[in-house]
Amino acid sequence: MILGDIRNLDQEKHLYPSAVRRGLDYIKLHQLEDAPPGKYELESGKMFAIVQEYITQPISGQQYESHYSYIDIQYLVSGTERIGWKRYNDRLKISFNRLSEDDIQFYEDNSSLMGVGHGEGSDLIMEPGLFAVFFPTDLHRPCGHVHQESRIRKIVIKIHRSLVGL
Residue ranges covered by each domain of the chain: 2-164
Q: What is the mean pLDDT of residues 46-61?
A: 92
Please tell me the distance from the alpha carbon of residue 88 to that of residue 165, in angstroms, as a whole number: 19
CA distances from 131 to 2, 36, 57, 136, 166 (A): 8, 20, 19, 17, 21
Residue % of the chain over a pLDDT of 70: 93
Taking alpha carbons only, the member of 127, 114, 130 closest to residue 63 is 114
Tell me, what's the pLDDT at 117? 37
2-164 maps to CATH 2.60.120.370:
yes
Asked if residue 77 lies in contact with residue 126, where contact means CB atoms within 8 angstroms, the answer is no
Q: What is the mean pLDDT of residues 90-99?
A: 88
Give yes or no for residue 28 having a pLDDT over 70: yes
Give yes or no for residue 114 having a pLDDT over 70: no
Give yes or no for residue 92 having a pLDDT over 90: no
Burial status of residue 116 (CB atoms within 10 A of its CB: 0-12, 13-18, 19 or more): exposed
Give yes or no for residue 110 having a pLDDT over 50: no
Tell me, what's the pLDDT at 120? 67
